[in-house]
A and B are shown apart, each in its own frame.
Chain A
Amino acid sequence: MCGTCGCDSPQTATTRRLELHQGLLSRNDAQAAANRAHFRRHGLRTLNLLSAPGSGKTALLEQLARRWPRPPIGVIVGDLATDNDARRLQAAGARAVQIRTGDLCHLDAALVDRAFAQLDCRGIDLLVIENVGNLVCPTAFDLGEERRIAILSVTEGEDKPLKYPALFRSADAVLINKSDLADAVGFDRRSAIANLQAIAPQAELFELSARSGDGLDALIAWIDTGSNTSSCS
């Protein structure tokens, strides 16, 4: 009997150790780096948008599609089962490609690469990747974006950043959305901002309402800062 695992093999296997020190996400990271280079060649500014379900990602993108100074914007949208979001975004003037993730709880760089191949990016200088609504799983996956935006809506409570620190810590900007509902839900704005500044001191903060459009101009100016002027041809 094999001395290692108890199988019926007559030989006694000699085990040896292989040192690998390989990143678990090394293949995703390599694809993300290729995506990043690909997006740059097309003159695209790219954003990865992350939040819980229902915090207003699609509503925000509808506003962005209408207000972006050089329309249309491109959107790759991840959703578990439907293409409702893509249709909403197309109605707002965006060029949107849907990734139906099935049971997958996050987008990865290979999925984004395949979706990007379906997007007609001529005349587009802004590409937003709307991630699957989830505050945990998408955090670890680089998609090749330039900047990452996390949304906290006032209806979720001011302690969300303390419960899901990894996501907020990875963000270049955090949006406090649904500001028009803050009073109605008793949102403690000072505590939310203190929590965000403690968890994510690197992130720019924006307070806005994707529904009314309040506060969107500042966000659009931030997104536009340093953006590439050449667009995809």
Chain B
Amino acid sequence: MHELALIQEVCALAQHAAREQGASSIHRLELRIGSLGGVDPEALRQAFAVVSASDPWRHTELALEVVPTRCFCADCRQAFSPVDVIHACPRCGQLASQVIAGRELELVALEVS
């Protein structure tokens, strides 16, 4: 359950940014979570439910965008979406070592007032 530690970190980053911008309330947190980031979106939602049971997060909405994995095949020179955990190119079968999307773990934006 490192998702709880991650959510606490998100809250700390968000509060710091909101304070710097002179905002007193955070209405919405937008996160981008890559499917290879080692973070389970459902566990992250549950962790946020724990945090948002009390102030100042009671009225904050959590928006998660899950970014699917995209790889690049150096032989075919094309990007592809792997069908499972093995990143084999669907055209030539080569294992791709280059992941071009899916590792994101990002606090994208806040809505504040």
B47 within 8 A of A: no
- Closest CB-CB distance, A149 to chain B, in whole Å? 17
In the bound complex, how far is the Cα of B5 from the Cα of A176, in angstroms? 31
Residues A140 and B88 in contact in the complex (CB < 8 Å), given A20-B108, A21-B108, A104-B5: no
Chain B residues near A53 (CB, 8 Å)? none
Q: Is there contact, CB below 8 Å, between A140 and B37? A: yes
Contact A166 B95, beta carbon cutoff 8 Å: no
Grouping DSSP codes into helix (H, G, I), strand (E, B) and loop, the A interface class, with mixed when no group exceeds half, is mixed
Interface string of B1-30 (1 = CB under 8 A from A): 110011001101110011001010101100
- Chain B residues with CB under 8 Å of A13's CB are 25, 113
Contact call A140/B113, Cβ cutoff below 8 A: no
Q: A20-B17, A23-B106 are in contact. Are A165 and B85 (CB under 8 A)?
A: yes
Inter-chain contacts of A18 with B (CB < 8 A): 17-18, 21, 23, 109-112
Give A136 to B113 CA distance when docked, in angstroms: 37
Complexed CA–CA distance, A106 and B18 (Å): 29
Number of A-B contacts (CB under 8 A): 105
Contacts of A15 in B (CB 8 A): 27-28, 111-113
Stretch of A1-9, A85-93, A181-189, A223-231 on the interface side: A1-9
Q: Does B105 have its Cβ within 8 Å of any Cβ on chain A?
A: yes
Whether B31 pairs with A106 at a CB distance below 8 angstroms is: no
Q: With A5-B27, A136-B2 in contact, is A20–B97 under 8 Å at CB?
A: no
Contact A198 B106 (CB under 8 A): no
B107-A22 in contact (CB<8A)? yes
Query: Contact: A106 with B25, CB < 8 Å?
Result: no
**Residue on B with the closest CB to A12?**
B113
Residue of A whose beta carbon sits closest to that of B44: A24
Q: Which residues of B contact A16 (CB under 8 A)?
A: 23, 111-113
Q: Which of A47-79 contact B (CB under 8 A)?
A: none
Smallest beta-carbon distance B113→chain A, Å:
4
- Give bound CA distance, A21 to B109, whole Å: 7
State whether B105 touches A140 (Cβ < 8 A). Answer: yes
Is B51 at the interface (CB under 8 A from chain A)? no
Q: Could you write out 30 A-B pairs with CB less than 8 Å apart?
A: A4-B25, A5-B27, A5-B59, A6-B59, A13-B25, A14-B113, A15-B27, A15-B28, A16-B111, A17-B109, A18-B17, A18-B21, A20-B14, A20-B109, A20-B110, A22-B106, A22-B107, A24-B9, A28-B9, A104-B5, A106-B5, A137-B38, A139-B38, A165-B85, A169-B36, A198-B86, A198-B88, A198-B95, A199-B85, A201-B95
Q: A5-B25, A24-B106 are in contact. List 8 more A-B contacts (CB 8 A).
A: A13-B113, A16-B111, A18-B110, A22-B107, A24-B105, A25-B9, A166-B37, A198-B88
Residues of A within 8 A of B (CB): 4-7, 13-28, 104-106, 108, 136-137, 139-141, 162, 165-167, 169, 197-199, 201-202
